[in-house]
Amino acid sequence: MIEFIWDILFPRRCALCDGVLPVGERLRCQKCGNAVIYIGEDYCMKCGKPVREGEEFCADCAGRETSYESGRALFLYDSLMQKSISRFKYHGRCEYAQFYGEELYKRFGGWVRSVSPDALIPVPIHKKRYQKRGYNQAELVAKELGKRSGIPVISDYLERRKNTLPQKELSERERFSNLYDAFCVRSVTRELYNNLNCVIIIDDIFTTGSTIEACSKTLRVQGIEKIFFLCISIGQGI
Ligand SMILES: [Zn+2]
Ligand SMILES: [Zn+2]
């Protein structure tokens, strides 16, 4: 009853189109549930991008060495997702994390159990950006997934020491130098969590994978041997 009244006073919004949800509906509307595109059964074994049937790797990953093992992503990054994630990141819709976390768990709960990580590690944002925005979107998603899977979330392990430019505005070469040395782990933090051997990095969007690779490299230097990732959304691999 209280929840019912609450829903009338503070209507929930669809995490995809931001439309007000009918009372009693949670997280997303019916129309968007049918419109959003989940990554299907044919995905790149390395990065999780959709590939043609029978293909093992996408064009980006074929022959590419990475410091991480592999990762999976939930939704195709189309205009519906682009708008959803943009509201989530830049327009204060932090409650969307519940939807993303729940969908990640529904889709990849089994995969997470098989990986059996010691922790979920969200990609950090720079502290100046954090102060301005008030939250780190990847951390909110990691916490929602952590709550459902029982895997601890360690948000203060990786630190972003450079307030990097948005990757999407840069060429591949610029992306690399933009992210070079962008992440670090303080020695006091390393000592605090000295038993990590396997982790899953959590992020919102996977485009070229350079952010995940930069985080993963930093984690490998700390002696973490197995690194995987999960993302809400990913581009097309074909
Ligand atoms: Zn909707
Ligand atoms: Zn790939």
Residue 33 burial (10 A CB sphere; 0-12, 13-18, 19+): exposed
Span 105-113, average pLDDT: 97
Model confidence at 153: pLDDT above 90: yes
CATH fold of 27-234 reads Rossmann fold (3.40.50)
Instruction: Give the per-residue pLDDT at 63.
Output: 87
Parse the chain into domains and list their residue ranges. Answer: 27-234
pLDDT digits (tens, 9 = 90+) for 28-37: 999 999 999 9
CA of 230 from ligand 2 middle (Å) equals 13
CA of 209 from ligand 2 middle (Å) equals 9
CA of 228 from ligand 2 middle (Å) equals 13
pLDDT digits (tens, 9 = 90+) for 167-218: 667 777 777 777 778 899 988 888 888 899 999 999 999 988 989 999 999 9
pTM confidence score: 0.92
Instruction: Give the per-residue pLDDT at 169.
Output: 73
CA of 73 from ligand 1 middle (Å) equals 20
Q: What is the 3-state secondary structure (H, E, C) of 126-190?
A: CHHHHHHHCCCHHHHHHHHHHHHHCCCECCCCCEECCCCCCHHHCCHHHHHHHHCCCEECCHHHH
CA of 67 from ligand 2 middle (Å) equals 14
CA of 43 from ligand 2 middle (Å) equals 8
CA of 17 from ligand 1 middle (Å) equals 4
Band of residue 237 on the pLDDT scale cut at 50, 70, 90: low
Instruction: Give the per-residue pLDDT at 238.
Output: 53
Residue that wins the pLDDT comparison between 40 and 10? 40
